[in-house]
Amino acid sequence: MTLEPLKLELEEKVPGCGLEIISNPSPSAQHSLLIDPEHAVAVAMYLRDAAHLRFDYCSNVTGIDWPAPNDAGKAKLKDMEEDLEQDEADCATAGYLEVVYHLYSMEKKHGPVILRMRTCDRGLRVHLPSLVSVWRSADFQEREIFDLFGVIFDGHPDLRRILMWDEYTDHPMRRDYVEPDDYEYEPTAHDEVLRKTMNHYAK
Amino acid sequence: MTTLAEAPPKSTLSPSASNGDTQLLEVSMGPQHPSTHGVFRMDVSLDGETVVKLKPIFGYLHRNHEKIAENETYLGSMPYTDRLDYFCSITNNWAYALSVETLAGIVVPERAEYLRVITAELTRLQNHTCLAGFLMQDMGASGTPLMYAFREREKILDLFESLTGARMMCNYMRFGGCRVDLPAGWLEQAKTVVAAFPKFLDEFEALLNGNEILMARTQGVGVLSKELAINAGVTGPMLRASGVNYDLRKVDKYGIYDRFQFRIPLGDHGDVYDRYMIRVLEMRESVKILEQAMRDLPEGLIQDPKTKVRNFKPKPGEAYGRIESPKGELGFYLVSDGTPRPYRFRVRPPSLINLTILEDMCLGRNVADVVIILGSVDIVMGEVDR
Amino acid sequence: MDEGLKSELSKQGVVATNLQELYNWGRRNSIWPLNFGLACCAIEMIASTMARYDMARFGAEVFRPSPRQADLMIVAGTITKKMAPQVVRLYNQMPEPKYVISMGACAISGGPFKQGYNVLKGIDRYIPVDIYIPGCPPRPEALIDALMALQRKIDAQQLTGDSRPRHLNADEPSEFTVPKFGAHDLEPPQNPVVWHAPLVQIALAEDDDSGTA
């Protein structure tokens, strides 16, 4: 499905929504639409209900962590946590969390249309709107992203940890997650496990 | 139901108990429970025997497939996909291989496509028989149907074993083809197994279909409406039992499914009985596909010679590939940053998303029905929690 | 009694035995496993009770849904950190004498999922294990072999003396600490009463780049 006409149509039907086509250079050519969080629910509603689109089926919801490429970003993030009033321009250097929705239509049997949303940073400003009110299939998947990435979905009816226990405080799918060091022993240590075991005893 | 001599504190009262005669009972079904499938847990609130609230609790088999895959090469993740839905390792392999092929633009040779269809449909047969057997077990038909199902499953596992070396964890597909070609005599043996399968189905259906207990326990139980099923992203036999004609073998026509003559069975009530019947009918259609595929199987390569399976390094980009696994739409979403390891590796698990509507189906039913409704969803915890 | 005489007598239809042999004979031939599966291995466990492999031949077909009625816990599958407290609790609820078979690579050491943040690296960190079966998953024949190994182990148990099994020794513990959920990991990460890391020599050659895959 070509995205340019869809983008123009959405801009007309949902006034003020910021859309950007993210092109995908791989042979799959599955390009996606970056939408701004404020208008996400309106855009999703339109995609679902417009008679010629009817994207009634949200197949897959994914979280992706994009940390800042260098240490400068990390320092910046620390500053920002102290001062939340910094302007938008700084966000770009602090890395972000991204949520990707894959939409198909069961009625028209077409798709996919891929929507993406990005948080402002990876620290405190990680709120995104929940699309559960549009597609219930996003329910468990958004909870999973909350659990493993730490994205907070505003408007989700039951936002709790889903895979890890409630007392858990980390977000293990983030790239900078440090796992607990319990590599005391491995009967057939090899590769990465051997390295981790050696690190355990080196401490 | 007990009549309380003294009114209990307000907080323990159910909505219907404001008259002061019943008290809600909180039951945690699972994670160790004889009737749940694996380590699944439901926190159920009961008003007498009736379910008034049901919250599924996941994560007891969350073994971090996605995180491990991000630190593993593309090929290194293939054996892990076997262990997602451990009943259907071959369809898992296929979904992953298909995603990588979409990501890197790989073409699969014709013979390999046929081998994929043959092994995947055999997988569907053994998954659906076992599901039917487990469903009967949940209903109290202890032993017999499940014994029959496993007897047939062993025959198919023998085929897998002689082809791939393993009964359950086949690890059969590769990017751009399959790992090994058929050993001598395999096709004849497979034809015998497939030819005998309809006889087993006749026997199975004769044993169960008209059974009064089966009808009473399943008809009108756990009804799922078409609209809710679509909105909740339910896929696979569950969706089709609610009357939605959506089978990726027909919609996407991935692989070579457009070459075969087969029909998609649809239900019209969306209850447990329909979900059971859909699976039986799908097995009959799978037999048809298998007969055609084994008849037309061409000679040729089984692996695209241009694809480097080892040291595989796709260009930066992303791809979502999906197939119709026996449980529903199984998808893999891969993000590549040009290195030998995927930047993001996501599994779209049909079992997990099919559970979204579990509470809706169970509300107002008896606690004994919960077990059957869960059985008809056909979940495997390895895939639900990953 | 001398073994030769015993076998001579048995040919004549006279069975000579003693209390210990009779007791162990009865126990080893009616092991009731707990109906408890965790992951992939559980399917092979089910397969081994079904028509082709038929574990009933060895007296172990009565899978009990309640730990109160079970003698044997087959830990079949990956134990996640979220599940580990429940596994220990189930073990504690089983009455003595009780035995544990650790089935498959995951239950032994975490197996292929060892590097997962939520995967326990072996159930023997929390409860004592009698038999380990390698494999991913082990075949039903391997499970039956493990069951027979357990039967031999039961057969060799003395009723009296210092080497008598745990259930006949009132000083030995029968229950073990259930770990608690912590902020990053289980607390404690292993039970030092049951398990401590074996002393192993770990070496990696300078130019070994196997770890980089």
For B83-97, how does the pLDDT look when each residue is reduced to its tens digit (9 = 90+)? 988 889 999 999 999
- What pLDDT does B30 receive? 77
Report the amino acid identity of residue B45: S
Average pLDDT along chain C: 86
* Contact state of C86 with B32 under an 8 Å Cβ cutoff: yes
The beta-carbon neighbor of A182 closest among C121, C182, C204 is C121
Q: What is the pTM of this model?
A: 0.89
| Helices B272-296, B186-208: crossing angle, 10 deg rounding | 160
- pLDDT at position B98, please? 92
What is the three-state SS of chain C? CCHHHHHHHHHCCCCCCCHHHHHHHHHHCCCCEECCCCCHHHHHHHHHHCCCCCHHHHCCCCCECCHHHCCEEEEECCCECCCHHHHHHHHHHCCCCCEEEEEHHHHHHCHHHCCCCCECCCHHHCCCCCEEECCCCCCHHHHHHHHHHHHHHHHCCCCCCCCCCHHHCCCCCCCCCCCEECCCCEECCCCCCCCCCCCCCCCCCCCCCHHHC
Q: What is the pLDDT of residues B35-61, one digit of tens each?
A: 667 888 889 998 888 999 999 999 899
Chains A & C: contacts with CB separation below 8 Å: 65
Closest-CA residue in chain C for B33? C65
Distance in angstroms (rounded) separating the CA atoms of residues B386 and B350: 11
B68 touches chain C (CB under 8 A): yes
Neighbouring subunits of C (3+ Cβ pairs under 8 A) = A, B
The more confidently predicted of residues C204 and C199 is C199
Percent of residues, chain B, with pLDDT higher than 90? 45
Comparing CB atoms, the residue among A167, A180, A193 nearest residue C189 is A180
CB of C178 within 8 Å of any CB in chain B? no
Here the tokens at position B240 are: 């089709």
Contact partners for chain B, using 3 or more CB pairs closer than 8 A, are A, C
Q: How many CA atoms lie within 13 A of B1 on its CB side?
A: 10
Write out residues in chain A with pLDDT < 70, as ranges: 1, 70-93, 188-189
Measured CA to CA, the distance from residue A134 to residue B314 in angstroms comes to 35
More confident: A164 or B19 = A164
Kindly state whether B31 is in contact with chain A, defined as any CB-CB distance less than 8 angstroms.
no
The helix (H) or strand (E) run that includes residue B132 is helix B110-139
Q: Would you call C184 and A180 a contact, using CB atoms and an 8 Å cutoff? A: yes
CA angle, corner C84, sides to C83 and C88, nearest 5? 120
Q: Which of B29, B35, B37, B39 to mutate to test the interface with C (most CBs of C within 10 A)?
A: B39
pLDDT-wise least confident of B356-365, C32-41, C192-201: C192-201
Task: Say whether the ipTM exceeds 0.90.
Answer: no
* Statement: residue B367 has pLDDT above 50: yes
Q: How far apart are CA A34 and CA A115, in angstroms?
A: 6
What integer pLDDT is reported at residue C213 of this predicted model?
38
What is the sign, positive or negative, of the torsion defined by CA atoms of A40, A46, A47, A48?
Answer: positive
The reply to whether A12 touches chain C by the CB within 8 Å rule is no
Q: How many residues does chain C have?
A: 213
Instruction: Give the strand pairing for C131-133 and C99-103.
Output: parallel
**pLDDT value of position A126:** 87
Q: Could you tell me the sign of the dihedral formed by the alpha carbons of B38, B66, A146, A43, in that order?
A: negative
Could you give the CA distance from residue B85 to residue B172 in angstroms, rounded to a whole number?
15
Q: Which of B17-31, B102-116, B312-326 has the lowest mean pLDDT?
A: B17-31
Alpha helices (runs of H) in A17-167, residue ranges in sequence order: 40-49, 71-82, 138-148
From the CA of B31, how many Å to the nearest CA of chain C?
8
Rounded-to-10 torsion of CA A180, A181, A187, A193 = 90
Which residue carries 């544990």 as its tokens? C100
Collect all residues of chain A within an 8 Å Cβ-Cβ radius of residue C115: 179, 192-193, 196
pLDDT at residue C199, rounded to an integer: 65
Residue B8 has pLDDT above 60, yes or no: no
What is the predicted pLDDT for the residue at C6?
86
- Chain C residues closer than 8 Å to B74 by CB: none
Residue to mutate among C82, C121, C136, with most B CBs inside 10 A, is: C82
What type of residue is B265?
P
- Among the listed residues C69, C205, C35, the one whose alpha carbon sits nearest the alpha carbon of residue B36: C35
What does the DSSP 8-state code read for residue B158? H
Mean pLDDT of C9-13: 90
**Minimal Cα–Cα distance from C206 to chain B, Å?**
22
Question: Given a cut of 70, is residue B381 above it in pLDDT?
Answer: yes
Core vs surface per residue C130-161: b (16+ CB within 10 A) or e = bbbbebbbbbbebbbebbeebbeebeebeeee
pLDDT at residue B10 in the model: 46
Q: Do A60 and B316 touch (CB under 8 A)?
A: no
For residue A56, give every residue at least 6 positions away whose Cβ sits within 8 Å of its Cβ, in sequence order, or none: A48, A105, A106, A107, B230, B231
Taking CB atoms and an 8 Å limit, are A194 and C82 in contact across chains?
no
| Interface touch B61/C46, C-beta < 8 Å | no
What average pLDDT does chain B have? Answer: 87
Q: Which of residues 237-276 of B touch C (CB under 8 A)?
A: none
Residue B192 pLDDT exceeds 90: yes
Among C117, C190, C200, the residue with its CB nearest the CB of A179 is C117
Q: Are strands C99-103 and B50-57 parallel, antiparallel or unpaired?
A: unpaired
Burial class of residue C163, CB neighbours in 10 A (0-12, 13-18, 19+): exposed
Chain C residues touching residue B169 (CB < 8 angstroms): 40, 136-137
Question: Residues C32-91: pLDDT tens digits?
Answer: 998 888 888 988 998 898 888 888 888 887 888 888 999 899 999 899 999 999 999 999
| Contact flag A162-B59 (C-beta cutoff 8 Å) | yes
CA separation (Å) from A23 to A4, A26, C112? 11, 9, 36
In chain C, the percentage of residues whose pLDDT exceeds 90 is: 27
Share of residues in chain B with pLDDT > 70 (%)? 94
Query: Which positions in chain A touch B226 (Cβ < 8 Å)?
Result: none
Task: Give the contacts of B207 (CB within 8 A, at least 6 positions apart).
Answer: B144, B145, B148
Who has greater pLDDT, A76 or B285? Answer: B285
C174 — pLDDT class (breaks 50, 70, 90): confident
What part of B 85-114 touches C (C-beta under 8 Å)? Answer: 86-87
User: Which residues of chain B are within 8 Å of residue C139 when distances are taken between CB atoms?
Assistant: 167
Touching check for A201 and chain C: CB below 8 Å?
yes
DSSP annotation of A83: -
Tell me whether residues C181 and A184 touch, CB distance under 8 A.
Answer: no
CB contact C185 to A (< 8 Å): yes
C182 and chain A: CB distance < 8 Å anywhere? yes
C183, C200, C210 member nearest A168 (Cβ): C183
Mutation site, A28, A33, A100, A191, interface B, largest B CB count within 10 A? A28
DSSP run (H or E) holding B285: helix B272-296
pLDDT for C212 = 42
Higher pLDDT: B136 or B10? It is B136
Chain C residue numbers with beta carbons less than 8 Å from the beta carbon of A180 are 117, 184-185, 189
